[in-house]
Every structure is written in C-alpha cells, then in structure tokens.
Amino acid sequence: MAYHKRPTSSYQPCDTFFVESYEDFPVPRMDPKEHAKLIARERQYAIADELSRITSEEYREDVLSHMLDMDASTLADVESIDIQTEIQWFMRPYLLDFLIEAHTAFQLLPSTLFLTVNLLDRYCSKRVVYKRHYQLVGCAALLIAAKYGDKKDRVPTIRELKSMCCSLYDDDMFIQMEWHVLQTLGWTVGHPTVDTFLQTAVMDTPYDPEVEHLALYIAEISLFHREFVSKPSSDLARASLALSRCILNRPQPRHTEWASQYDSMTLVGLSQQLHQPSQVLARKYSSSHYSRVSKILEQFLARQASIASYSPPSPPSDMVDIEPKPYEGEIGLATPQKAPHPSNMPHGYITPPITPENEAFVNGSNAGYVKTVQVPSACSPSPTPSPSVQQYMTHNPYQQESAYVSQQFLQPQMSFTTGY
C-alpha cells in the first residue's frame, strides 16, 4: 500500500507500493504500573552504579595491592619452559595464532585470551609436554579460561574444539587434559590479566578508544615473545599504555598516577617487537571494532622508517673550504679554537723550547702569533767541555765518532713551529 502524507509529517509522499503507512502499526500503550516499574528499575541501576563507583574509590588501593600479589604468585617460569624436551619456542606463534582465531570465533572477552596463555605457560613450566599434545593443552587452557570468567553462553563445547582441531583428539582427551591442567595448577585459576590492569590505569582518564585498543594490541604482541612470559601483567599494562600514548601523540599521565610508574626497559623491549607482528593478530585489530589500530601502527612505523632512512643534503662546494672562526667567548658548547696556521708553515712541537735568550722570541704586539725559527747548527745544546776532555777525545777515536754522530743526528738543520 502507498505511503500517505500525514498532516504533521515533513516528508513528501512516496509512490512505491513497498512502503507501508504508520497507521497500520499503532504504538502500543504501556500500562501505568509497568511504566512505573521500568522507571524504578532504571533508578535502581543508577543508584547501584553510583554505589559501585564510591566503593571502588574507597577500596581501590586494597584491590590493586591484592591484584599485584596475585600477579606475582601466578607467573610462569620461563627457565622451566626452556628445558622442555620436545616443544620449542618457535612452535609458540603457531599455537597462539590458533588460539587467537578460536578466541575471535567464539567472541570471548579479552581477559579470556590472556588467562588462556597464562594457564598454558604455567602448565608447561610444571609438566613435560609432548609435541603432539601441545595444541590439546592450549585447547584445555582456553576451555578453562572461558568457564572461569567469560559468558556462559559463549563457552566453547568439546565438539566445537574437536572440530577446530580437525578431529585430531577424542572427546575424552579434552576432558582428561582439562582435569590434568587443573590438578597440576592446584586448582588456582585466577590471574589478574593485562586488560584488567589497563582498565585500572585508565579509570580516571577520559575514554580514548584508540589508546586502549592500541595498548591491548601491543600487549597481545608481547604474548608471542619469550622475554615477556615471566613479566608481571602490571608492568606490561603500564608499558604498553605509555607506548600507545607515545605512538598516538597523546599526553602521558601525571607522575603521581599509578599508570606513570612504568618500566622503561619493558617499554623499550615492547617497541622493538612491533615491526613484524603476527598476521592473524594484525588482521584481528584491523577491524573497526578495534579502531583499526594495526593500520595506525603500521603507518607510524613506515613514517619512522622513512625518517631514519633520510640523509641530509651535503653542503655546497663553496662552503666546504671556509675556515672556522676563532672562539670569541660565546656561551655554548663550542671548544675554544686557536688562530689558524698559515698554509705554508710546517706543524710540530717546539724543539728546543723557546727562551728569552733566543732572538726569535717575540714580545709586544706580535705575541701569540705563530713564528718560524731557524735553529742554527752552531748552537750547542750543552756547555762546552773542558780542555782535558777535548784532549781525551783527540786521542780516542771512538769518542770522536760518537761526537760526530751526535752532531749529525741530534742537531739537524731544520725549522720548528713556535707559538702557543
């Protein structure tokens, strides 16, 4: 039926027969009691949010202290993973790519992924894991983490996990591995994840989705590298947040805030691992749901590489031979320079030292300038020997030869450069 223009409508009539009029769908009227209940429920939600905010501010330091204690007590031991006989570190990226794809397919919370990797690493640091069971341990860790803190309707089933593993494992193997992981960890599943500390760090700042998503992206990149396995989640959260703010040119927090107390070495280590992220992870964060931060990071790294490869132009040829000006007492980092030497004057140390008896010693207005002094061969550097010594040298041929050598090599005819 055609759409007819209503008296209060500003739209023009439409001639198509696929648009229905609003008169055929009257707005249902709500019962006054139901309307009052709805308003009361919304008011209760507002009161609960306000009480939760007040309580969180009151117990924030206690909660943060407890989280830090749990963070330190539930870390994996990277040295114990090093002594595994079959699984190697180069296998880790393949398993993490599989877990990230499964985590994205089931639309689980970000904390579930970090808790999954933590359970996997803690188990591998306490038990010998065979290569054929490495993926099974990862699936069991994902199942435990999803049951622990995610929505119940999104917890993957064993049939779904078996299908993702291409039926490599039976149903009983998933159940047995899940029980074995829990028993190995002493049923201690809880671990404060990186995203939990990120929410604590940005609690008092305005919401900036690009900063939070980029920090989360950097934190997930750290999961692929050995040097961050034993790093506390609090250090990774603060360092990744500071690095994301630096990349996006956002102001850093005040020095009195908890987020500003990041470890500079952890930040530098994270910055060195941004160049070749996992393609699965980059594709995940290239969506609009995560503000396309992987594309933003890729553009930033490209700009940095172009700046690093840029070489400044060489100075003009007519500027190369300009002699440096002498230091005239300007304030700065310049080193005081001496007056330039003439181009036709040799350089060298003063030999012998200039004394006032030398005729070339200059006083007055010409003092301080470089002079060339001819040292005569008749100048004796030592006192004249006594007649008895001369008589002895006359009758001693060896002494005569020594005197000749001394005269030829110790008193050559040459010019020296003097000055200060």
| Contact in structure between 95 and 177 (CB atoms under 8 Å) | no
Residues 136 and 212 in one domain: no
Please tell me the distance from the alpha carbon of residue 70 to that of residue 65, in angstroms, as a whole number.
9
Q: Rounded to the nearest 5 degrees, what angle is found at the Cα of 19, between the Cα atoms of 17 and 23?
A: 115
Rg of the chain over Cα atoms, rounded to whole angstroms, equals 41
Burial 353-390 (b: 16+ CB within 10 A, else e): eeeeeeeeebeeeeeeeeeebebeeeeeeeeeeeeeee
Q: Is 157 a member of any domain?
A: yes
Residues 172 and 216 in one domain: no
Residues 82 and 112 in one domain: yes
From 307, 335, 364, the end of a domain falls on: 307
From 133, 157, 185, the end of a domain falls on: 185
Terminal-to-terminal C-alpha distance of the chain: 107
Residues 93 and 160 in one domain: yes
Please tell me the distance from the alpha carbon of residue 148 to that of residue 190, in angstroms, as a whole number.
8
Residues 209 and 300 in one domain: yes
- Helix, strand or coil, per DSSP, at residue 278: coil
Residues 102 and 176 in one domain: yes
Residues 205 and 303 in one domain: yes
Q: Is 293 a member of any domain?
A: yes
Number of domains in the chain: 2
Contacts with 278 (C-beta within 8 Å, 6 or more apart), sequence order: 93, 96, 97, 100, 221, 224
Q: Is 136 a member of any domain?
A: yes
pLDDT in tens, 14-54: 555 454 555 555 656 778 888 888 889 899 989 988 888 78
pTM of the full predicted structure? 0.63
CA 313 to chain centroid: 30
pLDDT in tens, 240-257: 999 999 999 888 888 778
Residues 290 and 253 in one domain: yes
Looking up residue 125, the CATH number of its domain turns out to be 1.10.472.10
Residues 181 and 200 in one domain: no
pLDDT of residue 418: 40
Residues 261 and 302 in one domain: yes
- Burial status of residue 286 (CB atoms within 10 A of its CB: 0-12, 13-18, 19 or more): middle
CA-wise closest residue to 127 among 92, 80, 188: 80
Domain with 172, as residue range(s), is 78-185
CA 252 to chain centroid: 15
Q: Is 140 a member of any domain?
A: yes
From 307, 342, 372, the end of a domain falls on: 307
Q: Is 317 a member of any domain?
A: no
β-partners of residue 418 are: 371
pLDDT in tens, 165-215: 998 888 899 999 999 999 999 998 989 999 999 988 888 788 889 999 999
Please tell me the distance from the alpha carbon of residue 123 to that of residue 189, in angstroms, as a whole number.
11
Residue appearing with tokens 């003009």: 316
Q: Is the pLDDT of residue 5 over 80?
A: no
Q: Is 119 a member of any domain?
A: yes
Please tell me the distance from the alpha carbon of residue 171 to that of residue 174, in angstroms, as a whole number.
6
Backbone angles phi, psi at 295, to 5 degrees: -70, -40
Residues 130 and 178 in one domain: yes
Across the chain, mean pLDDT equals 76
Residues 121 and 177 in one domain: yes
Q: Is 41 a member of any domain?
A: no
Please tell me the distance from the alpha carbon of residue 127 to that of residue 330, in angstroms, as a whole number.
69
Q: Is 82 a member of any domain?
A: yes
Regarding predicted confidence, which is higher, 346 or 205? 205
